[in-house]
Amino acid sequence: MSGDAGIEVRGITHDYGSVRALHDVTLSIPRGLIFGLLGPNGSGKSTLIRILCGLLRPTAGTAYVDGIDVRTAAADVRRRIGYVPQRFSLYEDLTVLENLDFFARVYGLAGEHLTTRRNRVIELVGIGPYRDRLAANLSGGWKQRLSLAAALMHEPRVVFLDEPTAGIDPVARRELWNLLFELSAAGVTLLVSTHYMDEAERCARVGYLYLSRLLVEGEPESLLRLPAITPPGTRRVEAACEGSATRVLRHARALPYVEDVTIFGNSLHLLVPESVPDESIRRDLAEASGQGLTIRGILPSLEDVFVRLTALQAEEAGNGKDGHR
Amino acid sequence: MKGFLAVLRKEAIHMRRDKGTLRLALGIPVFQLILFGSIDTNVRNVPTAIFDQCRCPESRALIDEMVATRTFEIKRDVTSHEALREAIVEGSVKVGIEIPPDFARHRQQGTEATFLALIDGSDNSIASQALGAIDGLALTRSLEDMSARLGVSTLPLSPRPQVLFNPDTRSANLLIPGLIAILLTFSGTLLTAYAIVRERERGTLEQLMVTPVSSAEMILGKLVPYLVLAFVQLVLVLFFMRTLFHVPIHGSVLLLAGLSLIYLTSLLALGLMISARAATQIEATQAAQGILLPSIMLSGYIFPLSSLPLPLQIAANLLPATHFVSISRGIIIRGADLHDLWNEVVALLIISAVLLTASVVVFRRRRL
């Protein structure tokens, strides 16, 4: 009943006692896709992942992973998924090989099949040089790759990664992502939670969780064009400053037609009415700040999207306060 | 089955890597055996003070006879009743003997010669043995005097006591077989008390829970390597009991080893149950201590079971230690065989099966 989706989530709600962690989340991720799950800490990302792994039973709703119902057939789901938790969760007093062998054996791999599979995974994540090192003595990046390798031993159809790149260096981060693309190309469905916008932009689809609700979900490109982000009659421009953008910021805020300003390095991103041309923005800002700058029209970034959606949601929650606790 | 073997193998590696724990696990029971096994429970050399107001050959004879029993050791000579009392209150002596000035006269005339024996009642076993020794001494001396006066050489009633199994009443022979059960209770239960909660604390349990490994595979896979370790502990303790303390094993060593496996299984299962339930290692330690102390107090190792009130006797029978204390004493001291110990063995089997099942059920319910 789940069609071709790698992950299908329907109306999942989860309460920890009186605290609602997820509210009516619905989501469909086609097979072989990388899905990025974004949202601030405590928004429910880990809860959703843990429900899909069969570690938590949802309070309400259904979910299918690789076509299997996680509520009724959690054991079947476990054979088909790999899970890389936020915190390193392999055995530090075991070597790389011992860790991989243990997880392979738990899934019933043995003998030649185990060796072949292990060699393939070691080659894939490139952990060969450290095979006899204790997991405790690996760097953060290698620990993450070992976690991924362990999660891949049994050839899972779906892999969940909970903030896999938190706290590892940019090079290791990029290498891990290259691995994820390889898996995706091999038809593995991946759900990755992250705080990094550049990672979100690499995903085929992204979803944004905020206060336990899934606010938006879709291809990054299409999210950028959401009407709520750039309302009809407005557009986004970048003001590249010659001097310090921070000094221009306050003047930009003071301009009556500027609806929103965010600072990005040495530029400002402005939300302005379509009727105001680039040249008049340039002139107004230059006069007010005494700095030279150039203006060009841009698409919003994913960060713009999420910041904007969060603000809209907060407004809405503020308006409808009467009905809530 | 595959999950069981995988977990077993992993646990064996953990155990091998953790040399410190391994050394402690094997060293502590032996150390404790040596420590507690040396305790002599026979009351000897009780410190005694004398207030001798007679200072005559008769009073000297009495004192010499007391010393000859080896129960008393004269530590102090005092010169007043108050000083005698004070010596007991301050704890420097346990027994005070006061001999009145007319002691010699009464002894010579054959009239009733009295002496005062003050006994510190704050230590039960010393008080009762000192009392018995003094009574026995006075009675023997009186009988001898009376029979001499009557000119008879035989007593009308004379017992011929025979102490079975431990004729020299060596306390090591009695103490150590029970001590073994107690030492294993501690080390066995604590070995596994951390086995699951440690993984829970380190987060590795979460990773394990997304794999198809079942609760029973987890419990058994963790139990078996520790069973081997605990069995090595037992063999070591038996070895030192035999070689260092020269405690003879009157029954079958093989039977003892076989039955100890059932006992160790129940202890490890208990530890795993605690571990499956606990959120932190500290919580597990506390729970283990809460169970271990009653096992020692109620197992019959310290107090005979028959001296416990009925509800405690029932509770005692639910403890695995109670049954293994009986089995261990039975085989080592009395040379009992399986037929003699049948009840204890069945009880131990039932307790082990229940604890093992309970630990799987608790783990299945609790999981993460």
B2-59 pLDDT, tens digit per residue, is 899 999 999 999 999 999 989 988 998 999 898 888 887 777 889 999 999 999 999 9
8 Å CB contact between A147 and A88? yes
* Chain A interface, Cβ < 8 Å to B: 53-55, 75, 78-79, 81, 83, 85, 87-94, 98, 102-103, 105-108, 110, 147, 150
Question: Which of B207, B215, B365 should we substitute to test contact with A (largest number of A Cβ atoms within 10 Å)?
Answer: B207
8 Å CB contact between A70 and A7? no
Q: What share of chain B is helix, strand, coil (3-state, %, to 5)?
A: 70, 5, 25
Nearest to A182 by CA among A129, A226, A121: A121
pLDDT attached to residue A2: 45
| pLDDT tens, position by position, A225-243 | 888 888 888 899 999 988 8
Q: Mark the ranges of chain B whose per-residue pLDDT is less than 70.
A: 368
Topology of domain A234-299, CATH: Alpha-Beta Plaits (3.30.70)
CA atoms of B364 and B6, how far apart (whole Å):
19
Contacts of A152 (CB under 8 A, 6+ apart): A82, A121, A124, A125, A159, A183
- For tokens 């009642």, the residue is B121
Residue in chain A closest to B19 (alpha carbons) equals A93
* Structural domains of chain B ordered from first start: 2-39+169-366 (no CATH), 46-150 (3.40.1710.10)
Contacts of B44 (CB under 8 A, 6+ apart): B70, B71
Nearest to B295 by CA among B184, B176, B175: B184
Find the helix or strand (DSSP H, E) in which A213 lies.
strand A213-218
Boundaries of every domain in chain A: 5-224, 234-299
Residue in chain B closest to A91 (alpha carbons) equals B204
CA distance A94 to chain B (A): 7
**CA gyration radius for chain B?**
28
- Divide the 325 residues of chain A into consecutive groups of 10 and give the mean pLDDT of each group: 78 93 94 93 91 92 94 90 92 96 94 93 92 94 92 94 87 90 94 90 92 90 85 89 87 89 88 91 89 88 85 76 42
CA distance B219 to chain A (A): 14
Q: Backbone dihedral region of A66: left (phi > 0), alpha (psi from -120 to 50 degrees) or beta?
A: left
Contacts of A225 (CB under 8 A, 6+ apart): A299
Contacts of A139 (CB under 8 A, 6+ apart): A172
CA atoms of B95 and B51, how far apart (whole Å):
11
CA distance B233 to chain A (A): 24
- For tokens 């959401």, the residue is A226
CA atoms of A147 and B208, how far apart (whole Å):
12
Q: What is the DSSP string of A242-302?
A: SS-HHHHHHHHHHSTT--EEEEETTEEEEEEETTS-HHHHHHHHHHHH---EEEEEEPPPH
pLDDT attached to residue A36: 95
Nearest to B321 by CA among B267, B261, B251: B267
Q: Which residues of A touch B366 (CB under 8 A)?
A: none
CA atoms of A253 and A250, how far apart (whole Å):
5
Q: Which residues pair with B240 in a beta bridge?
A: none
Q: Assign A162 to helix, strand or coil.
A: strand
Q: What is the DSSP string of A60-103?
A: EEEEEETTEETTT-HHHHHHHEEEE-SS--S-TTSBHHHHHHHH
pLDDT attached to residue A3: 58
Nearest to A55 among B18, B206, B213 (CB): B206
pLDDT attached to residue A325: 38
* CB within 8 Å: B212 and A106: yes
The structure's pTM equals 0.81
Which is the CATH superfamily of the domain at A5-224?
A: P-loop containing nucleotide triphosphate hydrolases (3.40.50.300)
* Chain B interface, Cβ < 8 Å to A: 2-3, 5-7, 9-10, 13-14, 17-18, 202-204, 206-213, 367-368
- For tokens 């290259």, the residue is A178
8 Å CB contact between B318 and B351? yes
CA atoms of B72 and B235, how far apart (whole Å):
39
